[in-house]
Amino acid sequence: MGKLPEYVGPCALGIKMGVVTPGCDLLGMIGSAVEQCHRDDLLDDGDVLCITESVVARAQNNLVSTDEIAAELREKYGVREDSRLGILFPITSRNRFAPVLKGFARAVPRGEVVVQLSFPCDEVGNMVVLPEFANSCEFDAIFPYDQIKEYCSHPITRLDYPGYYREIIEQEGARATIYLANHPEEILSHRPDCLIISSIHDRMEKKALLQDKVPCCLTLQDLCSDPSRPSWSEWGLLGSNRSADNLLKLAPREGDAFALAVQEMVKTKLGRDVEVIIYGDGAYKDPASGIYELADPQPSLGSTGGFKDGRMREGVKYKLLADTAYAAGKTAAEIEALLAASKKQGYGPHESATGGTTPRKLEDVIASLADLVSGSADAGTPLVLVKGLFKER
């Protein structure tokens, strides 16, 4: 099967492509790269083509400015220049949230921006306050920034994120109130005219809790999600990232449609049946820093039909079966035959053969694998070919 020998199991190959620029023919570029894989006998039915969301969004020229964010808050949601904006549980990130906050503050140059941060970390594990301070505090505590700023220097970046966010707000002319508190209801005491729930993964739970208690309640997904505008995404500001100057790159719009177009192109040109994923951040937690890398709403921001049934990656515990068979006196050859047969046998979730295996959504597994392979450095491989996971080799 292709140039990869039969003894090679599941694998992911980073595929190099040229620079992707706004308005370019990304579908054609992917087609050329995949055709090269096909010529080199590397493309098989059941493979998965993974395309990083950043190049899809860049090719779509899916950019918005901080001015456009401010204008949408004023025009669509009635925010006034002297309004008080509440910002609940944003992540601490120079690329992910700082430019978003700038747009929010720009909407209220004569008003106030109240930012409530969780502690000791934000929702993806970025440290907000030093652990040695947080460990001595009650979970229910409330800390105004000025009382704890000496404990807010990040141990790796050395950046004081609460102080940095205050500077962004004040540079736009607004007053800044920054504090740390873990109970979401605390922000209600500041009586915001508009509350923007800025967490990523629990945004809808927080909105359900608070929306009836404030005049206006939004999530990041509610902004920049209007299809009538030149740049938009069904994810809104979720998954956005700093671009040049005062611009933000949104997550790609209509990711499923682009994934389907790639799938159809490969079938038409090369006769191969593949699945396609538009991937963002992998669902990976760094054991050294404790940071959960998933700052996008989910690992996959678009996919083809093969993933729409929620297919899980699950199976038997091979080492358990092997140990059990060996203890029963089986030979190595007999154990190999037993393991091969186990692939074809169905096991229930509570049977001992599946003990220790955690079913995971296959779409998330493959998207996370692609993100780890391509990374955000200089690999230059926005296309990743995954073999042997969706369809076993």
Peptide bond into 184 cis (omega under 30): no
pLDDT of residue 221: 98
Beta bridge partners of residue 300, listed in sequence order: 279
The candidate with the shortest Cα–Cα distance to 83, out of 105, 116, 50, is 105
Q: What is the b/e burial string over 139-163, where b = at least 16 CB atoms within 10 angstroms of the residue's CB? A: eeebbebeebbebbebeeeeebbbb
For residues 32 and 360, the answer to whether their CB atoms sit within 8 Å is no
Tokens at 93, concatenated: 């990130």
pLDDT of residue 311: 73
pLDDT of residue 320: 64
Pairwise pLDDT comparison (339 vs 272), residue with the higher score: 272
What is the number of alpha carbons within 13 Å of residue 384 lying toward its C-beta? 22
For residues 246 and 221, the answer to whether their CB atoms sit within 8 Å is no
The candidate with the shortest Cα–Cα distance to 181, out of 112, 101, 117, is 117
Q: How far is CA 212 from CA 73, 86, 186, in A?
A: 19, 15, 15
Hey, how many other C-beta atoms are within 10 angstroms of the C-beta on 254?
Answer: 17
Residue 266 CB partners (closer than 8 Å, separation 6+): 31, 34, 43, 49, 272, 274
What is the value of pTM for the model shown? 0.86
- In angstroms, the CA 249 to CA 261 distance is 22
- In angstroms, the CA 68 to CA 83 distance is 18
Residue 353 reports pLDDT greater than 80: no
Residue-wise pLDDT for 170-203, tens only, equals: 999 999 999 999 999 999 999 999 999 999 999 9
- In angstroms, the CA 389 to CA 393 distance is 8
- In angstroms, the CA 162 to CA 146 distance is 10
Residue-wise pLDDT for 279-303, tens only, equals: 999 888 888 777 888 899 999 999 9
Cα 175 from chain centroid (whole Å) = 31
Residue 313 reports pLDDT greater than 70: no
pLDDT of residue 251: 97
